[in-house]
Amino acid sequence: MSIRCAQLNVRDTKEQKILLDGVGHYLALASTYTQPRKPSVIMLHGLSGSGKSTLAASLNERLLAIWIRSDVERKRLFGLFDGSQGSLLKGDMYAPEVTKVTYQRLLDLTKSIIEDGYSVIVDATFLQLKERQMFYQAFDKTDVPIIILDLRVENNELRERVLKRSNDQNNISDADVSVLEQQFHSLEPLKDTEKVTILHINANTLLDSKEIANKVRKSINTTN
């Protein structure tokens, strides 16, 4: 690589480092493509504002997984996302019956992707046990590992994040502070009796997606 930098007449050490880091990233990515794939379900768990989508956006490339989002699928049900063909539902987007249909849609997509041999990152809050059990039961009699990434953030920090992103026109989520407050009351915490691998993550600060991806791979490889 040093020879290549010389060929390109790159003499600035800072520029060399940028080039080397970039090449290193693509070499690591190429290496992952040569590894045998074990389709897995990676479920993100956490309240609105906990950083699930930010983490998923980093992990899907590192894990060669397909990323599906509850925010996107919920909007599709209402005909509010790009390419949506009319509205299938009307009313409150966060009504219990809408949430139920949204999770069923996520499960159907997950099954289809797993059948095609790819891993899936399911980006949703999964606050209710019944929502998680839908996925547990679907893959209970298979060898498909389920890994839950439990993102934990202090409540006041969550409120600040959700309030801040509500002013961001590029933010796809419609969950505002009122939705977050409802989530505080409806949350059913993860339990040890849920027979899946759970990785607890302190998401109060910037997350290291590379480290988390390595932990996920290790968990997948050690799961029967």
**Is residue 28 pLDDT above 70, yes or no?**
no
Q: State the CB neighbour count (10 A cutoff) for residue 90.
A: 10
Q: What is the pLDDT of residue 5?
A: 44
82 versus 223: the higher-pLDDT residue is: 223
Distance separating alpha carbons of residues 70 and 103, to the nearest angstrom: 7
pTM beyond cutoff 0.85 = no
Q: Of 3.40.33.10, 3.40.50.300, 3.30.420.40, 3.20.20.140, which CATH number belongs to 36-221?
A: 3.40.50.300
pLDDT single digits (tens) 150-181: 999 999 999 999 998 877 766 778 788 998 99
Rg from Cα positions in the chain:
20
Q: What is the pLDDT of residue 189?
A: 94
Going from N- to C-terminal start, the domains of the chain cover: 1-35, 36-221
- Cβ atoms 50, 151 nearer than 8 A: yes
Question: Mean pLDDT for the chain?
Answer: 84
- In the predicted model, what is the mean pLDDT of residues 71-78? 88
Q: b/e map of 205-218 (b: 16 or more CB within 10 Å)?
A: eebebeebbebbbe
Q: What is the pLDDT of residue 1?
A: 46
* Bridge partner residues of 43 (DSSP): 122, 148
pLDDT single digits (tens) 79-133: 876 654 444 555 677 788 999 999 999 999 999 999 999 999 999 999 999 999 9
Distance separating alpha carbons of residues 93 and 72, to the nearest angstrom: 12
Name the pLDDT band for 16 (thresholds 50, 70, 90).
low
